[in-house]
Amino acid sequence: MSQGTTGAVEGEVGEPGPARSSRRRWWALVVVCLGMFMVTLDSSIVNVALPKIQHDLHFTQSGLTWVVDAFLITFGSFLLLAGRLGDLIGRKKVFLGGVALFTASSAVCGAASSQGMLIAGRFTQGLGGAFSASVIIAIIFTEFPDPAERRTAMSAYVFVAVGGGAVGLLAGGILTQLLNWHWIFFVNLPIGVATFIFGRALIDENVGLGVRNGVDVAGSVLVTAALMVGVYAIIEATQYGWLSAHTFGFGGVAVVLAVAFLILQDKLKNPIMPLRILTIGTLVRSSVVRSLLTVGTFTTLFLASLYFEDVRGYTPLRTGLAFLPASVVIGVMSAGVTSRLIARFGNRRVLVPGTVCFAVGLFLMARIEVDSNYVTVVLPGLVLIAMGVGLAQVPLLAMAMSEVPPADAGLGSGVVNVSMQVSSALGLAVLSTVATSRTRSLEAVGTPLKHALVGGYRLSFFLGGACCSLGVLLSVVWLRERGTDPDAEAVRAATIEGASEPLAT
């Protein structure tokens, strides 16, 4: 099958296999999307409850980042191993195992009565999330080889992933205010049980490559340790100083562990991340752009939640409602609008305006004051960021996977997710630490607390905007799509028609 000018996922990524019932394939898509919904729901639902968690369990602001980063670190660190295991032993097994672990650890988080118990539960949640989410894109790409159906399936995946975030922000406010923050984790239990039961019945297993050469556990341990030590060094920099021996020491250890990981990958016969995957230009370049945009996304969720509740005095429910317009924008864009734009103009021509919206939105957020009007100052920034997310996600996914070989679909899916989760953890650690440092320096010269907090938030939003601006530049000069071919118009027409059809047809 030829590659159209859309540069999307029309390439031969899917594995050949016997035809399946169209209806059953779409129901299997519903199941894997439900698994992704649970993970994204959990990722966003926590943000609204952070101030309450901080108060009840006595976290410092820098320590509070571990409630988010504990999940992101294990999620990002094990995505490659989990994706590769899907290629080797079967993606259905990996998906269901991840769902079971995520559901059980959600119960632990919900019952947490101490900082250590909550952070430990979040680490385990991240592991379960990595195993379930790592293979979803690969399952979709192999189940839907037809370009129009695949684009429809990917739009549904993005819509559900974004919908989980939208529902999470509002549900987090409702549950935290009406019950307590523990219920933001208990809500995962019925979703997880349903996903596991229907997943066993509806998802077909791929033929794994086998584990004759073993599984790279050492590589997974090294990359996880590198991330944990690096994030710890960044977070503790507010206490010890950015130029202290403590920060440089742990930072140096993180670098050594990362280098050891790369050396190990080059030597093993069956590594967690075969370095050949880094020679796929579209995968690497789109992942770099995704990483820069993700820093801005998580900065917005984390710091804006603190701004609404700690500075403006919003209740958790009102905070969730404050995010709702942005969530609706993302949902609308992901529900077919972006897919149609890509079909008409191509991935790159949709991606670039999306990255511009991202950057402008963050720079607008950098203008907030203690008493800023929500409608005229805050909302425009949130809506532009939301438009950026809605426009950029599908093109980046499409371009990333367009040249990945069938045998490495799980690994490619893992790299796509790793680029987001690792940048989330490190970016959030850096920018929240910068915000804390700025706040402390302003307080030291007599600035009132709320004004000092806003000063820290503004600096971090500005730096997030700078990251997104770099993403704009790279999208323009670095990302390229394959050339046109005679089938391009037919592909576009089929895509537009397919995007408008219900999933169960």
Asked if 410 and 135 count as a contact pair (C-beta separation under 8 A), the reply is yes
Q: How far is residue 254's CA from residue 258's CA, in Å, rounded to a whole number?
A: 6
DSSP per residue, 161-206? HHHHHHHHHHHHHHHHHHS-TTHHHHTHHHHHHHHHHHHHHHPPPP
Question: Where does 333-448 have alpha helices with state H?
Answer: 338-345, 347-365, 379-401, 409-444
Residue in 260, 261, 236 with CA at minimum distance from that of residue 248: 236
Q: What is the pLDDT of residue 503?
A: 29
Residue type, 39: V
Which residues of the chain register pLDDT less than 50? Answer: 1-19, 483-505
Q: What is the pLDDT of residue 115?
A: 83
State pLDDT tens for residues 186-238: 888 998 898 898 888 777 766 555 556 566 778 878 877 887 787 777 767 76
Q: How far is residue 290's CA from residue 296's CA, in Å, rounded to a whole number?
A: 10
Give exposure, 206-236, as e/b (b: 16+ Cβ within 10 Å): bebbeeeeebbeebbebbbbbbbbbbbbbbb
What lies within 8 Å, CB to CB, of 459 at 6+ separation is: 366, 434, 435, 438
What lies within 8 Å, CB to CB, of 197 at 6+ separation is: none
Residue in 181, 23, 203, 188 with CA at minimum distance from that of residue 99: 188
Tokens of 231: 């994030």
Q: How far is residue 170's CA from residue 260's CA, in Å, rounded to a whole number?
A: 43
pTM value > 0.85: no
Q: What is the pLDDT of residue 260?
A: 93
Q: How far is residue 489's CA from residue 9's CA, in Å, rounded to a whole number?
A: 15
Asked if 417 and 333 count as a contact pair (C-beta separation under 8 A), the reply is no
Q: Please report, for the chain, the start and end positions of each structural domain, with discontinuous segments joined by +.
A: 22-216+268-499, 217-267
Tokens 């050492």, residue located = 218
State pLDDT tens for residues 288-305: 888 888 887 767 777 887
Q: What is the pLDDT of residue 211?
A: 56
CATH of domain 22-216+268-499: 1.20.1250.20
Q: How far is CA 411 from CA 38, 119, 137, 406, 415, in A?
A: 22, 28, 10, 10, 6
Q: What is the pLDDT of residue 488?
A: 37
Q: What is the pLDDT of residue 206?
A: 61
Q: How far is residue 483's CA from residue 276's CA, in Å, rounded to a whole number?
A: 24
